[in-house]
A and B are shown apart, each in its own frame.
Chain A
Amino acid sequence: MDDAASSPFEIRDYLRLNMMPHFMCPGCGHGIALRALLWAVHELKLDKNKLAVVSGIGCSGRVGAYVDANTFHTTHGRPLAFATGLKLARPDLTVVVVSGDGDCLAIGGNHLIHACRRNLDLTCLMLNNEVYGMTGGQVSPTTALHRLTTTTPDGNVEPAFDACALAEAAGASFVGREVTRQAPALKNVIKAAVAHEGFAFVEAISDCTEIYGRKNDLGESPEMMLSQKAKMRPESFADVADRQYKPNRLRTGVLAKHDRPEYGRLCRERAARGRPEKRR
């Protein structure tokens, strides 16, 4: 138990109970990720009135509405851009983006890399379930090779993104990954990410049991969770990456933490100093 928590975590304190029952499928990992997020919020003693959750489209996008905070369900792939405006206009708010693998890496890939580069004080929690669940199970940028989806009936031939490597390469000053199987560990990574001043990217390895799991005979929720570290990894890059590849071992925990100036602070300091002497 973390010593920061003064009272026990009670998830109902952070949920909109009038929104229950939620609409996620049985066995879906997103609920565990949501729990981990709220648990982190609790331990950080954040004021719900000062918390903003910005989400995109897809199963991950619907998670935000259950949080008893200022919640903005935006457009597909663009929650980071909405959050950028919100945070710049309101530096007093803690802004957490909840996105998915399709939302964040496909349609929103450009916003992701630029958010990483800028290093504005946002947390991006990307729920990676390897599939477009909301639309019925199409291939996503993190679908592992050979997997069956409704748009890869013969098996996926596209390599998957390593989202954390991408985020770090693009400049994210905090990068972490955890699996929903280990909710306390996921909570700790999210907590460190939210507390970090700068852009923090967290990938939560989640499971889509109903659509993706069923289609690929991955078993029920317990079986899928047990294989999270082994099966869900960008294995297609194993041969080309110039770093040591460890089979069946997805790197988790805090993967990167860099001390870089925070964008919002830089903007405000720059404005306060006025224009440089030499111009025109």
Chain B
Amino acid sequence: MSAAPPSLQGNRACALAAIAAGCRFFAGYPITPSSEIAEAMSRELPRVGGVFIQMEDEMGSLAAVIGASFGGAKAMTATSGPGFSLMQEHLGYAAMAEVPCVIIDVMRGGPSTGMPTRPSQGDLMQARWGTHGDHPVVALAPASAQEIYSETIRAFNLAERLRTPVVVLFDEVVAHLIESVTLPAPKTIVVAERKWAKGDERDFHPFAETDDLVPPMARPGEGLRVHATGLTHTADGFPTQQPGPAGRAVRRLIDKIERHRDEIERFETLRTEDAEFLIVAVGIVARAARRAVADLRADGIKAGLLRPITLWPFPERATREAASRARRVLVAEMNAGQLALEVERLAAAPGKIARLNRIDGEPIAPGDIAAKIRELAANG
């Protein structure tokens, strides 16, 4: 096995990972720059006994994904900003009805139709707060084709284990980069299965508050005839507007994700232990920041990088710790300042946060980041 690893486009790595994770249903609507994922799924899924369908729009796409997941299939859709906006309705539904599903959002320039073929990181907050009401969300932000592969698998595993929608966000640069990806041997891939309900219908409460806060799911056709709804519901799954049960139902959804934070959270640090200048970045910007750290260190400037891989829930403790040690913190991102809001919230001294933003459809270069840090260093 000494053959060179294959070169894969990020979007293709995503599709292959989904299938390796057990995805057997894909519904989507064409949108740049994510379409290669749908195209790859249309080729690959039927070969493994799965189903691909191109729906009439993005609302229908995520609805079909949720429907397939209700039926027991691991299911996914892929889109970009404008489509992701349309999917918010069903992102909320999947959170509320606790339906495992994976939503890939390849970020392009916005707002609105924006710049379809240019990269952006404009959807970081949309992933967290795009739908109405208080709901949990899990969002992952891979930075390379290799990581798209591993994080897409992880997305499925988290979705299935926690009965939750999981969003995977990456920018157009990472989506379209073709780089070598080491594909793990199928047997070594850890694939999580959903906790299925078994047993007596009379004792079964499909939305019960179990120890791990993840109730087992009933597979249709096996005798447990349950009701699922986007309405606030009791443990039996039927609608309620009574303050007690209603509050508990929503609270459990939020607590469910919090309870499993350690399992969900993932981040990378680069030379943060003695960093005076901390850079916080995700996706392709974090890759530029890596280079900037090396260049700055070579010049004797103690720079470091914190890269959230799990974007939501945000790695709060790691951010607090790294930020508290640093003299200044630079949040670099391809938007007008979204990640920065989170870092400012967490840093004890918001005054030490600086921002580096690009919203013109161009990625942030290593030199841009290094120059900004040098400027901060020069100003004490």
Which of B24, B69, B229 has its CB near the most chain A CB atoms (within 10 A)?
A: B229
Chain B nearest CB from A86 CB (Å) reads 4
Interface size on A, residues (CB 8 A): 38
Q: B46 to A82, Cβ gap below 8 A?
A: no
**Residue in B closest to A23 when the chains form the complex, CB atoms:** B239
In the complex where A84-B53, A110-B57 touch, is A92 in contact with B221 (Cβ < 8 A)?
Answer: yes
* Residues A65 and B221 in contact in the complex (CB < 8 Å), given A85-B66, A89-B71: no
| Neighbouring B residues of A16 by C-beta, 8 Å | 227
* Interface assignment of B68: CB less than 8 Å from any CB of chain A: yes
0/1 interface trace, chain A 91-112, chain B, CB 8 Å (1 if under): 0110000000000000000110
CB pair B225–A48 under 8 Å, yes or no, is yes
> Are A75 and B89 CB-contacts (below 8 A) given A70-B225, A88-B51, A271-B47?
yes
List 17 A-B pairs, Cβ < 8 Å.
A72-B227, A73-B230, A75-B63, A81-B59, A82-B63, A82-B64, A82-B66, A82-B70, A85-B25, A85-B53, A85-B70, A86-B71, A89-B25, A89-B71, A89-B73, A267-B53, A271-B46
- B231 at interface, CB cutoff 8 A: yes
A contact residues around B90 at 8 Å (CB): 75, 78
What residues of chain B lie closer than 8 Å to A92, measured between beta carbons?
221
Distance between A110 CB and nearest chain B CB, rounded to angstroms: 5
Which partner residue on chain B sits nearest A92 by CB separation? B221
Q: Which residues of B contact A110 (CB under 8 A)?
A: 56-57, 60
B294 at interface, CB cutoff 8 A: no
Asked if B267 is at the interface of the complex by the 8 Å CB criterion, the answer is no
Chain A residues whose C-beta falls within 8 Å of the C-beta of B230 in the assembled complex: 73-75
- B257 to chain A minimum Cβ distance, whole angstroms, is 22
Main secondary structure of the interface of B (DSSP, over half): mixed
Q: Which chain A positions have C-beta within 8 A of B27?
A: 84-85
Contact present for A93 and B93 (CB under 8 Å) = no
Residues of A within 8 A of B65 (CB): 85
Size of the B side of the interface (Cβ < 8 Å), in residues, is 44
A49: chain B residues at CB < 8 Å are 220-223, 225
Q: State the CA gap A80–B221 with chains docked (Å).
A: 20
CB-nearest residue of chain A to B236: A18
B235 at the interface (CB under 8 A from A): no
Establish whether residues A50 and B229, one from each chain, have CB atoms under 8 Å apart when the complex forms.
no
B162 CB-CB contact with A under 8 Å = no
Which A residues lie within 8 Å of B25 (CB)?
85, 88-89
A86 cross-chain contacts in B, Cβ below 8 A: 67-68, 70-71, 220
Interface residues of B in 216-255 (CB under 8 A from A): 218, 220-223, 225-231, 238-239
B93 touches A74 (CB 8 A): yes
CB distance from A136 to the nearest CB of B (A): 17
Complex CA gap A263/B284 in Å reads 41
Please determine whether B238 and A65 come into contact, CB atoms closer than 8 angstroms: yes
Q: Roughly how many angstroms separate A88 CA and B50 CA in the complex, as a whole number?
A: 9
Does A207 sit within 8 A of B, measured CB to CB? no
B55, B73, B229: the one within 8 Å of A84 (CB): B55
Cβ A81 vs Cβ B93 within 8 A: no
Q: Is A215 an interface residue (CB 8 A)?
A: no
Complex Cα–Cα for A68 and B201 (A): 12
